[in-house]
Chains A and B, each alone.
Chain A
Amino acid sequence: MLDSPRLTQAVRRWPPTVEDLRPRAAVDDPIQRRDLILIERARAGDLRAFNDLVELYQDQLFALVARMVPDRDQASDAVQEAFFSAFRNLAGFRGGSVKSWLNRICVNAAMDAQRAKRRRPVQPYPELDDDNWQPPTGEADDPERLVMTAERSRVLSEALTQITDDQRTAIVLFDVQGYDYAEIAEMTGVSLGTVKSRIHRGRLSLRGLLEDRMELFRG
């Protein structure tokens, strides 16, 4: 996706300004450089540049939010609201990683959605059995293993919906997104110790919920 013709075209859209828009400190990462260029164009009023960013990151941001907010519709709304918020606050972007900036906005939107869900509880994962959960790739030649992996994902996802929002958020950010404790503490506005505690307690809760199905995980 990063090398798609459309994005290459998008980056080339305003050739004369590309050099001017680069930050003074050289950005070695080509992805980050591309993101910064798109951000600058979006700041200048180019909606297409912003939508290029949306296209680049919407899949992974939705995956992040959907893990934090079990209800799929609420997750979609949260992601849409996050992109709205990002567009409104383009001027507030202070440099650095665009991906991290968008992730933070999405985590905030997801936590807002979690709070809203607490006020108006809904049935989690109403469409859990639909085809939105993609089967793992690379093991297609072993149907039995594929079924077992799918079942493991299903029960684990279901267990994740049953632990607290705070614990789920910490576990998703740590185990799935790969953030470290300090980053999670900053994102969620709690102390380092609280983040660690949420992760440990969340994992213990998951283990308690999955105790009868642990054979799926031990194989």
Chain B
Amino acid sequence: MSPLPHTHPDRDDTLVARLAADDIAPGSRDDTLARARIADCPACAELHADLQAIVAATADLPAPRRTRDFQLTDADAARLRRTGWRDVLARLGSPSFAFTRPLAAGLATLGIAGLLLATVPFTFLAAGSASAPEALPGTNGTTSQAGGGAPATASPGFTAAPAGPDLVASGAPNPPPAGSSPAPVANGTPLAAPSPGTGVSGGTTTDSTKDGGPLYLSASPSARDAAGTPPEVGHDASAGGGGPSALVVLSLAMLAAGLGLGGLRFVARRLG
């Protein structure tokens, strides 16, 4: 067999480098291939020899001589010895406290997840119910399902306000004082008849059948105009419920704890 040309299409320098480093299992396909290359190709054989020579020369490199003494002085030792809070912080950064890193990450993740859980899914749910096909009478002249615990749904003309665990959309028609009217009216048509599962408060329809919480529906401005009532900024559960929910508070606390722990560990590692 005549030697291959200096550069052949299947030339693989890395394969030759692996062979030079004894990094190929003897008898393997790569081993056979690499040895064939070296046997057939002068360039590959030269590369193999050069790499081995470089390895040998690297191992024989003279040791650089240090230019200073690295012994510690008493002042160095006094400076480096940890006392008080630095000692505590240093322990936090030590390998025995390595668990604090995943703990911090976990706490922060749970905190973020809790915050999202407290807000986002219910926003989507409310939006979903707002875009449900059933329409409210105020927009198409038909009466929505009433009684029997059927959930109240909003027409596209209604918007749902984001809320906490309780789904809340503000009632578009200016809600009269609570309890002043047994059935809300939009466009002069009863919005929904009160049912055992549906609480009605003024112009606000409260659907307790959905996720066990009240659902306030917010009518569009046109519906408000049609009802002849001035527009009103909708209210939500957090505003009317007397502060954030326990889940939000817990999530914030976990997030703060996770970030704090992570920050402390970072500082401890930097100091160490």
Q: Provide the residues of chain B in CB contact with A200, threshold 8 Å.
A: 14, 17-18, 21, 23
Interface segment, B57-65, B126-134, B182-190, B234-242? B57-65
Task: Indicate if B74 sits at the interface (CB-CB under 8 A).
Answer: yes
Contact (Cβ within 8 A) A88 B272 = yes
Q: Provide the residues of chain A in CB contact with B70, threshold 8 Å.
A: 54, 58, 62, 79-80, 83
Contact (Cβ within 8 A) A156 B64 = no
**How many residues of B are in contact with the other chain, CB < 8 A?**
41
Contact (Cβ within 8 A) B62 A59 = no
Minimum distance in angstroms from B53 CB to a CB of chain A: 4
Task: Indicate if A162 sits at the interface (CB-CB under 8 A).
Answer: no
In the complex the two chains form, what is the Cα distance from A176 to B56 in whole Å?
A: 9
Indicate with 1 or 0, residue by residue over B162-174, a CB within 8 angstroms of chain A CB atoms: 0000000000000
With A136-B60, A204-B51 already in contact, the answer to whether A47 and B67 are too (CB < 8 A) is no
Minimum distance in angstroms from B46 CB to a CB of chain A: 9
Minimum distance in angstroms from B211 CB to a CB of chain A: 47
In the complex the two chains form, what is the Cα distance from A47 to B77 in whole Å?
A: 7
In the complex the two chains form, what is the Cα distance from A91 to B93 in whole Å?
A: 12
Q: Provide the residues of chain B in CB contact with A156, threshold 8 Å.
A: 54, 57-58, 61
Contact (Cβ within 8 A) A152 B57 = yes
Q: Provide the residues of chain A in CB contact with B65, threshold 8 Å.
A: 59, 62, 132-134
Closest to A199 in B: B21
With A58-B69, A76-B68, A85-B272 already in contact, the answer to whether A217 and B53 are too (CB < 8 A) is yes
B55's partner among A72, A136, A175, A214 (CB-CB below 8 A) is A175
With A84-B72, A199-B21, A200-B14 already in contact, the answer to whether A63 and B64 are too (CB < 8 A) is yes
Q: Give the most central of B20, B55, B59, B70: most A CB within 10 Å.
A: B70
B72's partner among A66, A76, A87, A176 (CB-CB below 8 A) is A87
A76's partner among B50, B53, B55, B67 (CB-CB below 8 A) is B67
Indicate with 1 or 0, residue by residue over A9-31, a CB within 8 angstroms of chain B CB atoms: 00000000000000000000000
Task: Indicate if B76 sits at the interface (CB-CB under 8 A).
Answer: yes
Task: Indicate if B11 sits at the interface (CB-CB under 8 A).
Answer: no
Task: Indicate if A201 sits at the interface (CB-CB under 8 A).
Answer: yes
Contact (Cβ within 8 A) A54 B71 = yes
In the complex the two chains form, what is the Cα distance from A6 to B14 in whole Å?
A: 50
Contact (Cβ within 8 A) A67 B77 = no
Q: Provide the residues of chain B in CB contact with A214, threshold 8 Å.
A: 50, 53
Closest to A94 in B: B95
Task: Indicate if B8 sits at the interface (CB-CB under 8 A).
Answer: no
Q: Provide the residues of chain A in CB contact with B55, threshold 8 Å.
A: 175, 203
In the complex the two chains form, what is the Cα distance from A171 to B60 in whole Å?
A: 13
Contact (Cβ within 8 A) A92 B95 = yes
Q: Provide the residues of chain A in CB contact with B58, threshold 8 Å.
A: 156, 160, 171, 175-176, 206
Task: Indicate if A32 sits at the interface (CB-CB under 8 A).
Answer: no
Q: Provide the residues of chain B in CB contact with A47, threshold 8 Å.
A: 72, 74, 77
Instruction: Name A's B-contacting residues (CB within 8 A).
Output: 47, 50-51, 54-55, 58-60, 62-63, 66-67, 72, 75-76, 79-80, 83-85, 87-89, 91-92, 94, 132-136, 152-153, 156-157, 160, 171, 175-176, 196, 199-201, 203-204, 206-207, 210, 214, 217-218
Known: A62-B64, A203-B21, A207-B54. 7 other contacts (CB 8 A): A76-B67, A89-B272, A156-B54, A200-B14, A200-B17, A210-B50, A214-B50
**9 A-B pairs in the complex with CB atoms less than 8 angstroms apart:** A50-B77, A63-B66, A87-B76, A88-B82, A156-B58, A175-B59, A203-B54, A204-B14, A204-B51
Counting from the closest, the 5 A-B pairs by CB-CB distance are A66-B64, A62-B66, A63-B63, A217-B53, A200-B17
